[in-house]
Chains A and B, each alone.
Chain A
Amino acid sequence: MSSTTRILTVDDSASMRALLNHALSTNGFEVAQADDGVSALEWLAVNEVDVVITDINMPRLDGFGLIEQVRGGTRHRDRPILVLTTESSDEKKARARAAGATGWIVKPFDTEKLVAAVRRVSH
């Protein structure tokens, strides 16, 4: 285990990934990026991670599906997964929770809060 917290950000929007990357890496996190659930799973198959931050609405495999797959696997099943999305309905939260999400952050995010959220779940 390295001392740096490694984060995988999953979002189909390149600008959102760039923003996250900027916000997190300037705060000392190691950031990897995936553009949807399928690429995230591919990356996770060969890499270690401390926290996953994922969008919900994505092509191919959405955030719910990604979380289920991670929780259903063995390698990363206990990793915290934060959902980062513009959706905020209770129904969506319940669904994310049921799928196995650890926490919920609403876009647009505040860098300070995002960083605090990541620190809070990375144990």
Chain B
Amino acid sequence: MTGALTRIAAMALKELRVVLLDRRVLTTLVASPIIQLILFGFATTLEVRNIDIGVVNRDAGIASERLLSATAAVRNVRAVTAYPNERALAVAIERREVIAGLIIPADLSARIARGEPGQVGLLLDGRRVNAAQIVAGYLGEVALQTGTQLRPEAAVATPQIAARHWFNPNLEYRWFTLPGMITLITTVIVLSVSVQAIAREREAGTWDQLMAMPIRSWEILAGKCAPALSVGLFNGALYVLMIPLVSDVPFNGSLGMMLLAVACFSLSVTAIGLCVSSLAQNQQQAFLGGFLVIVPMMLLSGYASPVDSMASWLQPVALIDPLSHMLIICHGLFLKAMPADLVVRQMLPMLAVAVMAFGLANLLLKWRSE
């Protein structure tokens, strides 16, 4: 057994030298996550801001005036622009000058004055589904409030909802995206390092020499985890420390649990990368193979769309995606102090994936060796 340890250590040391001591590689591995953190953190927001709205207003009365001023006062609305007719408005939507168009009929104020229900037309740019839905929500709210102000007596007595957003009181999207970034960027970096592990040896022709040495395939794989694992740990730790420093996202959980989770997660992604690498004959195949697994893993993770909203047959598949568990842990430990037993419950599936992927890589390696 000490023989196996010596061999694994030799392999790990060699891998660390090859991957990490190359200055260019090292720069890329350290600099790129920092740049990505900044870009992803501030560029990817699911919030709809800077909304431009077009209006065709045929009503000169008080109702339209109130409605428009209330619309313009909404925090995320940047501009409300008037258009002479529906045709001009349609062109503006088509050219993406505005995302939504209000069409106010000439009799709006008159109808409201008569006590009849008022009607306003709303055109939305369906190409931007998510944003359009949110804008429709904003405008519906604005219309309801304006109506209530104009005719307080007609307001229906609905129960008052006092909404309080737990864990993210101001519904800041950054609080959601930045902890999620740890998962996504660590995946990209760890996978791109680990998919090269075996393919590099095959391409360089060093595989033959290795095969004539008394080192077992699982020992090779174990040693080859070293660079990807250390890169994953380094980046994960860097993010956990940096995010509370550069942004207002709080870190409420246990740092130790977080690092442990990063380690489990990196291990599982590394093992998946090794599977891909065992199949690849050269580095280009390895790179493309990595791409093949990374996109589905991200889509199934629940970052872009919640796992609960996926097709029901897909949801069990998402369970074996280590990203989905890591996302839960990231959000849990950042935004709420997720207790250790719950964190462990998410870590176990990741470890199971790691063990299975490692075994599969070992089988593939033996199978592909001839």
Are these two chains actual partners, yes or no? no
Interface residues of B (CB under 8 A from A): none
